[in-house]
Each structure stands twice: as structure tokens, then as C-alpha cells.
Amino acid sequence: MTETIVELKNITKRFPGIVANDDVTLDIRKGEIFALLGENGAGKSTLMSILFGMYEPDEGQIFVRGEKVRLTSSKDAAALSIGMVHQHFKLVSNYTITENIVLGDEPLKRLGPLSWVDLKGASEKIRSLSLEYGLEVNPDDKIEDLPVSTQQRVEILKMLYRDAEILIFDEPTSVLTPQEIEYLLEIMEELRRGGKTIILISHKLEEIKQVADRCAILLHGKLVGVYDVATTTTQRMANLMVGKELDFSIDKTEHDFGEVVLDVSDLTVYNEQKVKVVDNVSLKVRQGEILAIAGVSGNGQVDIADAIAGLQNISAGSISFKGEDISRLTIKERITKGISYIPEDRQKEGLIMDLTLRDNLAIKTFDREPFSKKGILQPESFEQQAEDLIRRYDIRSGQGGQTLTRSMSGGNQQKAIIAREVELDSDLLIFVQPTRGLDVGAIANIHQQILEQRDLGKAILLVSLELDEVMALADTISVAFRGQILKTDSVHNLSKEEVGQYMMGVTQ
Amino acid sequence: MNIDKIMTDGLSFSLPLFIMAIGGIYSERSGVTMLSIEGFQGFGAFTGAITVVILRTAMGSSPNWLIYVATLASVLGGMLLALLNALMVIKLKSKMTIAGVVVNILAVALTSFLSSVITGAVTGQATNKIQLGVSPRYTIPYLSEIPVIGGLFQNIYPFAFIIIVVALLAWYVLYKTSYGLRLRAGGDNPHSLDAAGVDVNKIRFSAVVLAGGFAGLGGIAFTYMMANFSPSSYVGYGYLAIAALIFGNWNIRTTFWTSMFFGFSRSFSDQLVNELGMSSNYSDLFSVMPYVLTLIVLIFFSKHNRPPRALGEHFDKGKR
């Protein structure tokens, strides 16, 4: 029953400036859901990449099914029936599901000297696999036409197609909506019933509590311990994970709001596909107020934020900032006027991944004094600012300002964006999903930043899919549904359940 | 107007262009930006031509089968230069566009230098203009008598047959085999290929070398059409092939039609000049026509184009 399938012994892995894994020893049993819990940058992904053959450990040994193994590529891992669903999916966008699944392990049909890929046969096999595990997909669909949740199912099918026994999931729920998360967790349980061993990398305590049998907690690359999930409270897991007692509650002092900073009226926006994504929306944000737009993903809330920041053109209505219509201004002019924007996709819109942290921090101000003088960049000022912000905002990076942004963990990338945007000292800050994919420690830090800005009298527009976050931070809540604002009211007049109902489009 | 001539010339110009474009498609679909078709073509043609000269001198005669030896040599020559290009962009990770331009410049310089040296050593007369024999041409009975399109079946170069067979094979390999599936994945998301346990750089390396072979085949065909090889043989057909594949949306089937479009517009403009009896100044103006068309076509069609997503990106395992 408790047969050990994977053993990691004294694994140490170093990267320039960082010890990602420090003497980690774990054993994983056959047929369990084993969770790896830890903050961003705690070394969870690195550890599993080692097991998947993507990195070789500097020290330590790996045993699979009792035998010592050396993994130098994902091919070695596949040979040992280890499969992995990566955080960033590895799919070919213009291929069908079938083509993606067979890639690298193609079934061939032969006729004399000719051989070709038997897509039809593979398609059938995939169809039956998908039925067996309740992973509904149509094998002939193209990846680029599919929603993220389906793409994830393709990744799972890819492992099953290769008869993987040990399935590693790297932060699988960070891209999913609440319903999709439920569905995925059910699939995992189904897989466990089918005899698979599952390793779940996550920092979401609730889902670990819900499905996992045991849970290893990593902190700064070191193993804190392995715990039985059923007998450990989430609060205790959270504390172990961040290494200090954590305060979940948010201190929010009540105060009066100042003048209206942002006044959006009758805003209508069409997206590139000419679909009306924002429909006659009006909202006001005052000094010292956090207005949160709640809503299920894809109900136009991001488009509202984009329109205000100037990333999307509007087709009707007006956006006025401190009494001035800004709806025709360029993005840069809006930044100069005093609008900070923390975008939803930090890697695509928030940062230039191949620049250093230092340059990313100055990316909105590089053309001003002191960063450039008479059109000449002043590297010392870049450096000074980077040092200053890294210290004040606790941005962890291997080589200080010179760190390549791509090599930083997601949480620290987000901290960098927030540091940059807050430093602009804007009157309006727009946060879109500021804590998406982040761990408890980083979330608390970011919530603190948002509240600080509120208390400084800034106007804050928060777009979030996390209802708990909305309820905790907002002064005023607007609920978006199909491009419209169904309800706007003070947080004191709304219960979580009521907001949830509006999010589903119920207006009584 | 001589329709037959338009057809005959159009086809004999289009097919080499098409096979060179296929080379570009192989390379670009695997993710490697390909600007050196021109260089591969020239270097291949040079290798073919010099092989003919050497064999001719050694044997003292010039049998018909030399043309096939020349073709093989040209393919290998194109692959040799492509090997260098692949080393530069895949092993040494130099910028793909820069490497492409460098290879083109190198090809011109190297072939004109080597032509003189080798012809000097072999025949005692140093020249950078290598005369080739006249290629046999074939006319298919009955088909060649069909009105309008009959010209397609008259005076066909042997290369036409070779190119058609190779092109069909290239299509089959790219779209039906596992190698092709992997190659095309390399240009869209090399990380998916890596995760599937396939060596991305090996695939790309092979695609670039194959591109050299295809370009070499196109090169020798053009050279036999002009009956000699000289450094002035580099007239931009390689770039035209790139335009054809872009216009053809990196797809072999559509690129066939775009290559035909370029080829026939050229033979048409040539005939037009002839017909109107224009002076050479004007005829030069008309020979610009295919290129002007290219420009116009690219302006209008580029926005519908979908280049391979990972085109021009070096594959680096650590990059997420």
C-alpha cells in the first residue's frame, strides 16, 4: 500500500547567486497525491524539473522504483514513466490536439520505403483516453482555438498517452477559473483512482487541503517538513510556508474620500474581433478610495482597465481624469498625467523579459531627469533607483539590478512592476489581477502596498477575479457581467454571497 | 504574341524558383530565418559548374550525363555552404539575419575567386566565367500540341522533372512524416518539441542543410539556362524565392502558385518587350516587373500572413 515510488536524497541545486534546492530529501509513495508547497522562488519547480530531467542536481541522488537513476533529459524521465504539465504549456499552437500529443512519439504506418504519421489511429486512441478519464476534448481541434483549460487537458492527455505513471503538475490552477479548478481537482482524484502517482506543485492551500494526501513544504530552497494534509490546518501550512506567523486579516481604517479622480461615463469598447466587450459602463473613483471591479473572468473588466490606461480604443463615452477628458490621449500622455497601470499579464505587458531588472524599473521614466539628461541616459541613476527599490520593496534577485528579468520568480517580477508603478507617484493606480499566481507571502505584501497607496489618498481601481481579495480590499464594489456594471455599492452594503450572485448575472 | 514561349520560359523559370522557395520553407518552418538561399544557390551552381569543367578536362570529352553529375555536385555544394550557415546560427548562435547576409556575400566572393583559381589550374586559362555545355531539352508529344498550354510541354529542361519529383517528396516529408511534424513544431514552439524529447537544434540543423540542397538544385537549373556560371549569376533569384514563400504563407502548396506567378509574369514581360521591339533601356525596365509585383504583392498580403511563431528565435533550454 505504501510502496515508495520516488526518492530524492540530499538534492542540492545552485544557480548563479541562488541556492534553489538545499539538501532536500523526499520520498513519494505510489498512488498518492503529493503536494509541494512553498512561496514563489522556494525551489518547488526547480526540484521537480530535476525529477523531470530538465536540470541535473549538483549534489544528491534520485531513486525511481528503488533504482538509482540519472536523468539528463525529459526523454529519460519519459522512459521512467514520469510526465509533467508545465506552468507554461508546451503546445504547438497551429497543430491539432492529436498532432501535439503524438509529437516526438509518432505512431507510423508503413508502405514499402514510405512511412507516415498515423494521425487517424492516434486520434482514436486519444478519444478513448479522454473518455476514460473524463477529459473532454475533440482531438481534431487546433490548439490556438482552445481555451486555456482545454489546453491543460491536452497536456494531461499527452502524459497519459505516453503511459506516464508519475504525473507532475506545476501550478496547474494558476491559469484556471474557480469552476475549472474544481474540474481539474476531480480529474486528479480520478487519476489517483486509476493508480497514478501525482505530484502537485502549488501555493494554494485550499486546493492542497482538498485533494492532497501528503504535503512537503519548502522554504528558501530547504525542506521544512512533510505533513499529513488531513491533520494539518491550512493556517499552520501557511505559517510553515512563509516561515513566520502570518496575519491573514487586513487592517483597513475607514476614512472619507476626497475629490473624484477618475470619472468614466457611458464607456463602450469593442475588441479587435468587433465584439462589444464593454457596454455603457460608468464609474467614479475618488481620492483614497479603492474601487474593485468584481466579476468572472472575461466579463469586460480588463477591457475597462485597458481603455482607461489607453491600451484599447473606446467607441463611445468619456474618460475623465481630474476633470479633464483623457480618452483621446496617448498612453504616454496618460502616464505623464498620473496614471499607473499594473497589467494582468506581467510577462507580456508589464515587463520586458530580456532586459535587466534595472532597466525594467526605469522603463516609464527613462526619458526624464535624472535618468536621462539632454537625451543621454545616465546609468548611475538607473543603478541607484534599482538598488533603492530592490531594498524598499524586497525584490529578490540573484544579481541585483543586473538580474535578467526572465530569470526572476513570478512574485518578484510582480513586486518589481508594483515598485515601478507606485514610484511614479500617480494619482490613479490601476491594478489588474495584481496577485494572480502569487503565494501567500507575496499576496500579503501586495495587499499592504495597495492599502498604503489608498491611505496616501490615491484613487485605486482594482480588477480582481478573487472574490476574497475584492471583499477584503475594496471600499466600493462594482460587479461586471457581460460588459456591463450590474451593481455598484459600498462594501458595507454587500455580502460576499450577494456579490457572487451578481457575478452570475442574477439581479433579483 | 508567342504564347508557347511564355509558357515554356515561365515554367523553366518558375520551377527552380519553387524548389529554392521550398528550401526556405524547410528552414523557416523549423524556426531558422533564411536569407541565404541566394548564396546557397550560387555556391551550389559554382560547385556543379566546376565539377563539369574538371571532369570535361580529365576525360577530354563532354558526355550528356555530365549534367546529372553537375546537378548532384550542385546539391552537395549548396549543402556544404548551408552547413556553414547552420553552424553559425545554431551552434554559435549568431543572429540569423546577419549570418544570412554574410553567407551571401561570402558566396559571391568565394566563388569568383575560386572560379579563377580552379579554371586556371585545370585548363590553364584563368577565368571566372565557366562555360557549360548546352542542356538537352525535351518536348512531350501530343501534350505539347494543346493550344495555349502546349508550351508547358515544349523544350523542357531535364531539371524540370527532377524538381517536380523532389518537390513532391519534399511536400510529403514536410507534411506526412514524423520528421516533418517535428520540423514544423520547431518553428512554432520549440519548447514543445524539447519537452517531447526531440533535439530541437538537430532538427533545425538538418532543415538548414536541406535548404542548401534544394537551393543548389535550383541554382544548377538556372545556370544551365544561362549556359555558363559567373559571379554575375547572382541576380537576386534567391531573394525572389524568399518573396515567393512569404507570399505563399510558408506553405508548399501555395508557394507553388506564387512561384508560378513570379515565373510567368517574368516570361510575359520578356515577351512583351520582344513583341514591342523596345530598346534595351525599356526592356530593362520591364524585367523589373516581377520585382515590382513582388513589392506590391507583399504590401497587400503581408498582413494576412502568418510567419512561424518562433521564427528567428534561437532555441535556449533555460528560457521559459
What distance, in Å, lies between the first and last C-alpha atoms of chain B? 60
CA distances to A355, A379, B315 from B94, rounded to whole Å, are 19, 27, 12
Q: Flag if A104 and B193 touch (Cβ within 8 Å).
A: yes
Q: Which residues of A touch B317 (CB under 8 A)?
A: 54
B143 falls within a domain = no
Q: Which residues of A touch B182 (CB under 8 A)?
A: 103-104
B37 falls within a domain = yes
Q: Which residues of A touch B195 (CB under 8 A)?
A: 74, 84, 86, 90
User: Which cell numbers in the block locate residue B107?
Assistant: 558566396
Query: Best of B178, B183, B316 to disrupt the A interface by mutation (most A CBs within 10 Å)?
Result: B178
Q: Flag if B185 and A95 touch (Cβ within 8 Å).
A: yes
Q: Measured between CA atoms, how close is A162 to chain B, in angstroms? A: 10
State residue B319's pLDDT score: 46
DSSP state of B151: G
Instruction: Single out the residue of A440, A490, A498 nearest to residue A469, CA to CA.
Output: A440
User: What residues of chain B have any CB closer than 8 angstroms to a CB in chain A?
Assistant: 172, 176-178, 181-182, 184-185, 188-189, 191-198, 306, 309, 317, 319-320
Residue A350 scores a pLDDT above 50: yes
What are A204-256's pLDDT values in tens digits?
788 899 999 999 999 888 899 999 999 988 888 878 887 665 555 677 888 88
- At A306, the pLDDT band (50, 70, 90 cuts) reads very high
Question: Which positions 26-55 of A are in contact with B (Cβ < 8 Å)?
Answer: 54
Average pLDDT value for residue range A261-289: 91
State residue A39's pLDDT score: 74
Strands (E), B177-229: 228-229
Range of the domain at B23: 15-136+149-233
Q: Flag if B176 and A116 touch (Cβ within 8 Å).
A: yes
State residue A348's pLDDT score: 85
Q: Measured between CA atoms, how close is A205 to chain B, in angstroms? A: 26
- At A107, the pLDDT band (50, 70, 90 cuts) reads very high
Residue in this structure with the C-alpha cell 509513495, named with its chain if needed: A29
Instruction: Single out the residue of B131, B83, B129 nearest to residue B106, CA to CA.
Output: B83
Q: Are A470 and A294 in contact (CB under 8 A)?
A: yes
What are B203-219's pLDDT values in tens digits?
999 999 999 999 999 99
B128 falls within a domain = yes
State residue A17's pLDDT score: 63
Residue B119 scores a pLDDT above 90: no
Q: Is pLDDT larger for residue A185 or for residue A54?
A: A185
Question: Which positions 307-336 of A are in contact with B (Cβ < 8 Å)?
Answer: none
Q: Which of A78, A90, A116 sits opposite B189 (nearest CB)?
A: A90
Query: Which residues make Cβ contacts (< 8 Å) with residue B262, sequence separation at least 6?
Result: B13, B14, B17, B240, B243, B244, B290, B293, B294
Q: Flag if A406 and B182 touch (Cβ within 8 Å).
A: no
B284 falls within a domain = no
A457 Rama sector, left if φ>0, alpha if ψ -120 to 50, beta otherwise: left
Average pLDDT value for residue range A338-343: 94
The structure's pTM equals: 0.76
Most confident of A18-27, A60-69, A104-113: A60-69
Q: Is pLDDT larger for residue B303 or for residue A254?
A: A254
Q: Measured between CA atoms, how close is A319 to chain B, in angstroms? A: 32
Q: Measured between CA atoms, how close is A412 to chain B, in angstroms? A: 16
Residue A304 scores a pLDDT above 90: yes
Domains of chain A: 4-242 (3.40.50.300), 269-338+426-508 (3.40.50.300), 352-423 (no CATH)
State residue A245's pLDDT score: 52
Poorest-pLDDT segment among B86-90, B195-199, B275-279: B275-279
Rounded mean pLDDT of chain B?
90
Instruction: Please work out, in degrees rounded to the nearest 5, the angle formed at the alpha carbon of residue B26 by the alpha carbons of B22 and B27.
Output: 120
Within an 8 Å CB–CB cutoff, is residue A78 touching chain B?
yes
- At B286, the pLDDT band (50, 70, 90 cuts) reads confident
Q: Are A488 and A478 in contact (CB under 8 A)?
A: yes
Query: Best of A75, A90, A95 to disrupt the B interface by mutation (most B CBs within 10 Å)?
Result: A90
B19 falls within a domain = yes
Sign (positive or negative) of CA dihedral A151, A156, A157, A161 = positive
Q: Which residues of B touch A88 (CB under 8 A)?
A: 191, 320
Q: Flag if B181 and A74 touch (Cβ within 8 Å).
A: no
User: Which cell numbers in the block locate residue B7?
Assistant: 509558357
Q: Flag if A103 and B319 touch (Cβ within 8 Å).
A: no
Query: Best of A91, A103, A407 to disrupt the B interface by mutation (most B CBs within 10 Å)?
Result: A103
Q: Which residues of A touch B193 (CB under 8 A)?
A: 92, 103-104
Q: Which of A86, A92, A105 sits opposite B188 (nearest CB)?
A: A92
B225 falls within a domain = yes
Average pLDDT value for residue range A146-154: 89
Q: Is pLDDT larger for residue A262 or for residue A275?
A: A262
Q: Which residues of B touch A91 (CB under 8 A)?
A: 189, 192
State residue B101's pLDDT score: 95
Poorest-pLDDT segment among A1-5, B32-36, B236-240, B255-259: A1-5
Rounded mean pLDDT of chain A?
89
Q: Distance (Å, rounded) from C-alpha A263 to C-alpha B313?
A: 44
**Assembly ipTM:** 0.86
State residue A368's pLDDT score: 87
Instruction: Please work out, in degrees rounded to the nearest 5, the angle formed at the alpha carbon of residue B62 by the alpha carbons of B57 and B67.
Output: 110
Q: Which residues of A touch B181 (CB under 8 A)?
A: 99, 102-103, 106, 117
Query: Which residues make Cβ contacts (< 8 Å) with residue A507, sequence separation at least 6?
Result: A486, A487
Continuous H helices in A67-144? 74-79, 97-102, 119-132
- At A108, the pLDDT band (50, 70, 90 cuts) reads very high
Residue A434 scores a pLDDT above 50: yes
Residue A440 scores a pLDDT above 80: no
In degrees to the nearest 10, what's the CA dihedral of B95, B101, B105, B110?
A: 50
State residue A248's pLDDT score: 54
Residue B175 scores a pLDDT above 50: yes
Query: How many folded domains does chain B comprise?
Result: 1
Q: How many CB pairs under 8 A join A and B?
A: 67
Average pLDDT value for residue range A147-169: 92
Q: Flag if A78 and B197 touch (Cβ within 8 Å).
A: yes
- At A435, the pLDDT band (50, 70, 90 cuts) reads confident
- At A297, the pLDDT band (50, 70, 90 cuts) reads confident
Q: Which residues of A touch B191 (CB under 8 A)?
A: 88, 90
Query: What distance lies between CA A427 and its chain's CA centroid?
Result: 27
Q: Are A499 and A294 in contact (CB under 8 A)?
A: yes
Q: Which residues of A touch B176 (CB under 8 A)?
A: 116-117
Residue A1 scores a pLDDT above 70: no
State residue B318's pLDDT score: 55
Q: Which residues of B touch A164 (CB under 8 A)?
A: none
Element at A423 (helix H, strand E): helix A410-423
Continuous H helices in A56-106? 74-79, 97-102
Half-sphere exposure at residue B206, Cβ-oriented, CA atoms within 13 angstroms: 12
State residue B320's pLDDT score: 40
B159 falls within a domain = yes
Q: Are A476 and A494 in contact (CB under 8 A)?
A: no
- At A355, the pLDDT band (50, 70, 90 cuts) reads very high
Q: Distance (Å, rounded) from C-alpha A51 to C-alpha A69?
A: 10
Poorest-pLDDT segment among A17-26, A371-380, B28-37: A17-26
Residue B198 scores a pLDDT above 50: yes
- At A275, the pLDDT band (50, 70, 90 cuts) reads confident
